[in-house]
Chain A
Amino acid sequence: NAGVTQTPKFQVLKTGQSMTLQCAQDMNHNSMYWYRQDPGMGLRLIYYSASEGTTDKGEVPNGYNVSRLNKREFSLRLESAAPSQTSVYFCASSPSGAGGHNTQYFGPGTRLTVL
């Protein structure tokens, strides 16, 4: 099992460019999440998907869109990148469901720089 994979690992964009961060998990998890990590601020939730076909906003959704393509894949899109979106982005997944263990498993992260 590869767990949670993310592509790319590094990316540099110019202000106004768009890009999509890809995430996939092979653990048959129901829920998937996108976070951003900034210095001194821990991880903050951008968007999440409780199950295939559903998505919801997290704490900091502005400037982002997401797509839950199928149960395995959850992508994050920046339509018009801004320097404030320079960050490290993490994708995570969890089994979810009442009674089950709900630990989140994280991908390796994508370091994004917007110039």
Chain B
Amino acid sequence: AQTVTQSQPEMSVQEAETVTLSCTYDTSESNYYLFWYKQPPSRQMILVIRQEAYKQQNATENRFSVNFQKAAKSFSLKISDSQLGDTAMYFCAIMKYTSGTYKYIFGTGTRLKVLA
């Protein structure tokens, strides 16, 4: 069975500082995809960044980057130069291919608050 664990229910960071959200996962598959989604108070789920497991290079997207450690099954999200608009719930997810489609398993989320 696949699981995704986010061990930090809540975090806070000062504006312009850097924060890292942790995520660990468990899978028996050799190839898979990992995602971070952001959910602001509007409830909309917004893709932040995606990582393909067969790629060794860590994905980056502007101020967002990941530290992907495949052997340790760890996939942390680093937010640099934090902004007030980064305040949101952040969900880590792993995707697997089964029964003709791709399905996600989500973690329970980390609530991030950026302080002015």
Contact = CB atoms under 8 A, between A and B. Distances in A.
Interface of A: 30-31, 33, 40-45, 48-51, 54, 56, 58, 88, 90, 92, 94, 96, 98, 102-106, 108-109, 111
Given A42-B108, A43-B91, A102-B33, A96 B44 contact: no
Contacts of B108: 40-42
Contacts, number: 60
B21 to A, nearest CB: 14
B47 A54 contact: no
Interface of B: 4, 9, 33, 35, 37, 42-45, 47, 50, 91, 95, 97, 99-104, 106-109
Which of A45, A49, A54, A104 has its CB near the most chain B CB atoms (within 10 A)? A104
Which of A30, A40, A103 has its CB near the most chain B CB atoms (within 10 A)? A103
B45 A51 contact: no
A44 B50 CA distance: 20
A45 B96 CA distance: 13
Contacts of A56: 99
A43 B106 contact: yes
Contacts of B91: 42-43
Nearest to B109: A42
B95 A90 contact: no
Nearest to A104: B104
Given A33-B103, A48-B103, A94-B101, 14 more contacts: A31-B101, A40-B9, A42-B108, A43-B45, A43-B106, A50-B101, A56-B99, A88-B43, A90-B45, A102-B33, A102-B95, A103-B35, A109-B43, A111-B43
Contact of B101 (A44, A96, A103, A106): A96
